[in-house]
Structure 1
Amino acid sequence: MKELHHDPEVLSDLHHSLANSYASTPELRFTWLETMTRNHAKDNNFSEAACCQLHIAALMAQYLKLKGVQSWGAEAFDKISTNIPRDETGLKLDSGKCNQYTPG
């Protein structure tokens, strides 16, 4: 990835692919989406950074739904973008730890 620092679009595509590969592991997906947010913000692509943050919010909502904490999940973001629920509903609770989302 260090070799791609000069090409933000290719780097972003790579991060997106990595985030998608972790679709069933919430903690890893969260980390990659956060990295994408920082990279977009650094390049002044604030709308893309905001989209990454929306995906993070939907990921958290889906996790809480699967844990039985709330009745709604990623589907609530459908009116914002149909991509969000499509990308964030593949979550599996037993695929990885997600301690940072556990309500305290």
Structure 2
Amino acid sequence: MHRVETEELLRRWVPRAVAGEPHAVGVVVSSVRPHVLNFCAARMDEGTSAHTPAEDVTQEVCLALARALPRYQDRGASLLRFAFGIATHKVADVRRKAARTVT
């Protein structure tokens, strides 16, 4: 799904996900996931990916997003942008952890 299509889908489903509708949470997370995977993979080098694959980081981001949805407040920015913010922090965590294990 292209990013524009994802944004349109999110506009319809995010309010329902924020309200706690389980199916809506699933739709939102599954719609965001491929974009988050590409985002994470693009920001991880070989050493970081060897330590923790981009798929694992993406899973952590999706779990964090699902937990954050009840508190999410739409302030005009896309939920996808919010997810990328979470992903940025998760990738940084993995990079720090990988750097500590390399001597």
Q: Give your verdict on TM over 0.5.
A: no
Question: Is the helix fraction higher in 1 or 2?
Answer: 2
Normalised by the size of structure 1, how large is the TM-score?
Answer: 0.34
Normalised by the size of structure 2, how large is the TM-score?
Answer: 0.34
